[in-house]
Amino acid sequence: RRLCERRHDAQPIGRPGVCLSSPQAHARKFARQRCQKTSRCLAYRTQKKAESGEIDLFFVDETTIRLLSTLVKCWMKRGHQKRIPTPGQNKWQHVIGALNWRTNELIYQIIEKKNSKTFCAFLEHLVANTDRKRLLFYVLDNVSYHHSQVSHAMIAYFEDVAVPIWLPTYCSDLNPIERYWKHLKDNACANRLFSQVQEVVDSVVKVLDEQNDMTSTSRLVFQDIY
């Protein structure tokens, strides 16, 4: 009986209500959660303004397309596992794109490297291909070359017509274009063999152009998801 009482009265290690982690780690976690909540609220208000036509809102990001096939789940006959041959080598190209939240259209460029130079060139391309009558907002993550001196100079140069919105660090789930990159790779290069990287690029460009075709049934409409 005494043993049962002792077990019942046993207390966990540490004082009640005290976090066993360091105060610095707890503070960083709280600050990150607060920043994520603030970013979600800001994104929601900005999205509503974009949907009403007050502003143009774009989500900007880069992704890599590779010669080696992207493997995804698929239907197979029972007892027959699908096999995908590989080219034996890997080459790659990159896509930098800006997703228009209101129209679901995509402004994009195929690039060889992801760096400050290609980012600045794309930002100039983005501003040149949007309606200057409305203020442009574009959402960015915190990859290193977005914060280089050259990139900051280009961002400041266009600040009268294009306003950046910075995502919190390590919060790619807040950027809807990440969902489109998955859609792109699933439809353009998943479970398929390509002999040259240019064939992969051609397949990717075809799917990218379908996103800008209002009559295409394969378009990804983000208002139906979020």
Phi, psi of 213 (to 5 degrees): -95, 110
- What pTM value is reported for the model? 0.76
How far apart CA 223 and CA 225 sit, in angstroms, is: 5
User: Class assignment of domain 21-74+87-224?
Assistant: alpha beta
Q: Which residues of 80-112 are buried (b: 16+ CB within 10 A; e: fewer)?
A: eeeeeeeeeeeeebbbbbbbbbbebbbbbeebe
Domain spans of the chain?
Answer: 21-74+87-224
- Per residue in 138-186, pLDDT tens? 999 999 999 999 999 999 999 999 999 998 887 877 899 999 999 999 9
- Per residue in 95-126, pLDDT tens? 999 999 999 999 999 999 999 999 999 999 99
Q: Supply the pLDDT for residue 138.
A: 95
CB 206 within 8 A of CB 188: yes
Got the DSSP string for 9-62?
Answer: H---SS-TT--SS-HHHHHHHHHHHHHHHHHHHHHHHHHHHHHTTSEEEEEEEE
- Per residue in 3-52, pLDDT tens? 444 444 444 444 444 444 555 555 455 545 555 555 555 666 777 777 77
What is the helix (H) or strand (E) element at residue 166, kind and residue range?
A: strand 162-166
> End-to-end CA distance of the chain, in Å?
57
**Edge-first strand listing for the sheet containing 162-166:** 106-111, 92-100, 55-66, 135-140, 162-166
Q: What residues have CB less than 8 Å from 22, skipping those under 6 apart?
A: none
Mean pLDDT, range 67-91, rounded to an integer: 79
Q: Supply the pLDDT for residue 38.
A: 52
- Per residue in 173-219, pLDDT tens? 789 999 999 999 999 988 788 889 999 999 999 999 999 999 998 89
Q: Supply the pLDDT for residue 163.
A: 93
Q: Supply the pLDDT for residue 225.
A: 62
